[in-house]
Amino acid sequence: MIKITFYRKESSMHRVRATLWGSLVFIFLMISVGSSPILADEKGERAGKRFFDQAQQGHRGMGSEAPWISIMLRHRDQLNLTGEQVATLEQMRSGFEQQVAPTQEDLRKAENEIARLLQENTVDLARVRAKIEEAGKLRAEFRYLRIETLEKGKAVLTAEQRDKLNNLTSSSHGRFQRPQGETS
């Protein structure tokens, strides 16, 4: 009877450990896939611009955190943006890319450290937790910087341009439509 109880505890402990490990690996893979455009720039394009544009693909609903600056620039003709507005928006996007690069690098390092900690024979759960919390703070910082930049970008537009932008992004049941002839 004691062996059965011990076996159940051991089995339960293994399941908890396996679930924790699996969850962390999944999170790491999702972040790795999500940040790969920043880390590897195959076509020689600015990596941050590619990240910014690819982030749009995951924000079809056009909520408050949608990549408005890229959308504004993509639709500069429909919005009748002035040269000054285009330059300002491009500057904002470039500044954002430079501003978040260290945060993205720190996040990548934290996720790599989590993966390394999980490879050890005896996982130090306290250290894993600390690294997960560190990664969470970095994600929060990135999100805040993104929202801050997007709000500044929207402020560049006139009220009429913001209305046009809302109409463009709400077409086709809330899904963003690329201008005709434009490819990915």
Domain ranges of the chain: 2-39+46-174
pLDDT value, residue 79: 94
pLDDT value, residue 168: 85
pLDDT value, residue 181: 47
pLDDT value, residue 12: 57
DSSP conformation class of 179: P
In this prediction, the residues of the chain whose per-residue pLDDT falls under 70 are: 1-66, 172-184
pLDDT value, residue 8: 46
pLDDT value, residue 109: 97
pTM over 0.85: no
Both tokens assigned to 72: 């504004």
